[in-house]
A and B are shown apart, each in its own frame.
Chain A
């Protein structure tokens, strides 16, 4: 069972908010003694998702939680936006697919960098992406 210990929500609307959110995520990761490589993976994943939120949904919210499961602790990030939603998630998760002018690595790449990845989206309502990175995982 995964228990949430500590919750923090950040509104991400301007580009400066993205920098602020990344710093807060880093602080949380350092607090649970996550190693440098995993910290880098987590912040890179967050960076991809924050950009998606800014580009496709004009911003949203980022919730940072410290979670524990047994002896393991980790960081759970939940990105919620009220954007246009993703019509075909399976397609969006494919390497090299993009509706914008990008490389199409954001979502599939993010999934490879974290331990748990969940995406829910409804067209016209928005998208929720949840990721977990364990301190030792």
Chain B
């Protein structure tokens, strides 16, 4: 039975293997997660949700809910000002005012002495609905006679983009070989272990404090302050340890936070709210589903001439980040290879289903599945080896891609060769299928806020000689704290054990965009590097002033020209007494070059770019279609690796999730109702389903990232889908174009159902 093995022999490198002490609090059960968090006098909140996909609320009959023993308050949309909020569009309300648009929409809420009482109270609320026609298919939703979800968005079109580079019509006329197909991916949930939870507390002195683990606490704070009309400085997010995020918790669950906050304000008591696993599937903002019709044209020698795409993405009832995800899905993948002519139409449609958001690679993984599948279909038609086809067309250092991405460092060709070599591409075993796929991903995205591209950090020398780093970037299990520790340790020349990183509190950390767009290592890490550098200068200056002699800093010790030695605590105390209480603080900022991004979206959008190529080896049982994935090799160019042990962990985790999307996962709907809203029926791979995974790092130094490093967290998931799809097609002799690739779909394809 295949299981994960770390089949790379390597020596532990003290320089690049570091685990934050927080890891030990997790494995020994001492870490405080959101669910562990309690405050005195705390109440528990529950939400009444719409059982209908589309309806008008005629009347909410609260009856005697508030008089029920143990119930402290109820809340409905009617009590709240109709002030919509959102991440990209303001299309949501904390509680539905008039319309419910999907099964799960928040209608009313109750705060009570415990969860059971709150649940009973919520069940006692009676709502009179007038049913409205609903629409579930995004293509249907875009038709003019479809039921309309939002007045502001005609024909349910939430967002659209038509993109033209070069002259694709001409290129297709000149192409020797053309391939086209439609590829689909369902909504997928990032299935973090811990269902979203928060405790909101409000008092006149502290203001509103929301205790919750979220990837972008500053962004959440800004949205909540605006939506609830509270002074920004009186809204604070404090994070317990997070039980997994994977990009699905960039904004956490804004509605949950707002409802808990409103109940806390109303009752004057802290209110705790946690989604159940079922609610997590209903309202937890999975990644958009997509239908991608792609067409690609080649010259006989394999040169890619053009790519056309007609993409429809499924927004669900509300938008969250879906327009951004749709944009990345429709565009980023175009920069893996040289494709001079591009024509893309992408439309995001509102439907009466679960509102969507994002998951790890921002839709780039869906595009990888489609493009890399199509590329292999092209290779077959051209009679060219799929690896050679990729090597012929892939981007390299110094290129500016079709959308204007500036490639400062790129080892994609090396990744492709390494992955191919390791899976045995040149020495294939009979009866097995081999697949390969390549990816690019932004490392340090600059375009979430054009006026706020970088990051800041503080490095403080403590009186005992230890260093505290304050960063607004978030460690949510991916190891950002350990990475920052190693960076500061290298700058200051002191042991990582002497350094502690603090984030997760909007009061004490610099404001940050947060953990998205592969920002943490490249941008956040660079700010930490700058802060540590500044602190080092300040320490040297202070010591020189103290000794009245020039000093140098070596291994955490200061040595003067006359060979006198001073340890860090003394320098800290010296400055402390000199200033009557101040500490030495290095302020670091990293402000990347502005992105020259024209109205067509042409321009560089990230500090730098990470690359990867994955290879997969599979077996297909043709009598049943059953797939066994034996091996996935993940070759990555993430520049110089800062922390090898956590990089390997990222590859194992992300690859497994990619495999989940490839062969196992996906929302199933029955008339708008989620049919598999449980971990029994929403099937992520178990440890028995995970193949042997081999990480390979091609360590090219990046000129921009800290110590030559680039991001890794998101890209690990992307090439898995294409590699597995291509390996299955190679083994089965037929191609499944609809994710997840299940045994049944392979069998159907084998028994004559549509195939390439």
Q: Do A and B actually bind?
A: no
